[in-house]
Amino acid sequence: MCKKQFPRPHSDKHTSGIGVARNELIWFIDSNGDSVLFFDPASQRFATYKLAANAHPHDGLQVSDNTISFPKEFENEAESVL
C-alpha cells in the first residue's frame, strides 16, 4: 500500500477529533487553532473553517450528511459547522 503525507495548512496542529463523511471528505478539529478543517483526497487539498477566538473545539467530532458538530472544551454545549 502506498501512503502519502500532506502538510497541514496551520501551524497549531493540535488535532482533536477526526471523522469521514459519506462524500469521503476527512474532517478534523484543530483545537488550539480554533478551526475545523477538511481534507479532500480527490483534489488533495485542505479547507479551513475558522471559528471564533477561544472557541476550543474538542474531542467528539460528529460527521453527518449535512452537519459537522463538536463539543466546545470548557463548556457544556456543542457547535456546528455547515
What pTM does this model have?
A: 0.76
| 19, three cell numbers | 471523522
**Domain boundaries, given as residue ranges, for the chain:** 15-81
Task: Report, in angstroms and rounded to the nearest whole number, the Rg of the chain calculated over CA atoms.
Answer: 13
| Residue whose grid cell is 459547522 | 81
Angle at 78 between CA 43 and CA 25, to 5 degrees: 10
What digits encode the pLDDT tens for the residues 16-75?
788 888 889 998 888 888 888 899 999 999 998 888 888 777 777 788 876 777 776 656
- Who wins on pLDDT, 82 or 39? 39
CA distances from 30 to 1, 3, 23, 42, 55 (A): 28, 23, 21, 22, 11
